[in-house]
């Protein structure tokens, strides 16, 4: 014999479904703020042979409203001076010498100027990430990416001095 559920059980099930519906609808109205930071990358003294260095790009997001929010994003890097095929460090004084280098996500590849971190065009890669923010467990999360840089060997050493380039990091939230 099958008995119908009691009124109490029907109310508990209905309350559970109502709470679940509130959680799902709250996520649609969740809000967050994010900050992006990138450390300086310094190659140090260059002697004409391959040299590498790295820095960190961090994306930190904080839940500012709602119960749960998932943040998906893509991080891109500009060309700076030069192009994605070959970025250039420029001498800070006269003469206007340059040194070739490039940037990569994670680690320097075995063959320089392949898998270049860029904007997804011209064969470049982008960095993607995702984080779930939960008001009680982890309302603030950080995703870090390693920005690896490498300068290959050059045929002739340029003028000694300080060489600089500015590369913009852009994070787009999907």
What is the domain range of residue 92? 31-173
Q: In what order do the strands lie in the sheet with 68-77?
A: 127-134, 68-77, 169-173
Tell me, yes or no, whether 166 lies in a domain: yes
The pLDDT of residue 16: 32
DSSP state of 166: -
Cis preceding linkage at 95, omega within 30: yes
Ramachandran angles phi, psi of 28, nearest 5°: -70, -25
Q: Domain count for the chain, please give it.
A: 1
Give CA–CA dist 75/63, Å, rounded: 20
Kindly state whether residue 9 falls inside one of the protein's structural domains.
no
| C-alpha distances in Å from residue 24, one per residue of 21, 79, 139, 171 | 5, 41, 17, 27
Tell me, yes or no, whether 120 lies in a domain.
Answer: yes
Asked whether residue 140 is domain-assigned, the answer is: yes
In a domain, 36, yes or no: yes
| Residue-by-residue pLDDT tens, the chain, 174 positions | 545 555 433 333 333 333 333 333 344 578 999 999 999 999 999 999 999 999 999 999 999 999 999 999 999 999 999 999 999 999 999 998 999 999 999 999 999 999 999 999 999 999 999 999 999 999 999 999 999 999 999 988 899 999 999 999 999 998
- Other beta carbons within 10 angstroms of residue 64's beta carbon come to 13
Give the distance from CA 61 to its chain's centroid: 12
CATH number of the structural domain spanning residue 111 = 2.60.40.1090
Q: What are φ and ψ of residue 116, in 5° steps?
A: -70, 135
């Amino acid at each position: 014999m099958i008995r119908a559920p009691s009124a109490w059980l029907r109310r508990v099930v209905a309350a559970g479904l109502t709470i679940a519906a509130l959680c799902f609808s709250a996520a649609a109205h969740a809000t967050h703020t994010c900050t992006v930071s990138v450390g300086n990358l310094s190659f140090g003294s260059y002697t004409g042979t391959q040299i590498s260095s790295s820095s960190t790009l961090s994306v930190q997001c904080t839940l500012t409203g709602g119960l749960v929010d998932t943040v998906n994003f893509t991080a891109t890097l500009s060309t700076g001076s030069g192009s994605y095929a070959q970025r250039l460090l420029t001498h800070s004084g006269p003469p206007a010498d340059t040194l070739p280098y490039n940037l990569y996500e994670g680690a320097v590849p075995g063959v320089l100027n392949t898998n270049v971190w860029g904007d997804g065009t011209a064969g470049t890669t982008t960095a993607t990430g995702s984080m779930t923010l939960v008001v009680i467990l982890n309302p603030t999360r950080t995703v870090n990416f390693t920005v690896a840089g490498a300068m290959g060997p050059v045929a002739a050493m340029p003028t000694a001095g300080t060489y600089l380039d500015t590369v913009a990091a852009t994070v787009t939230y999907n």
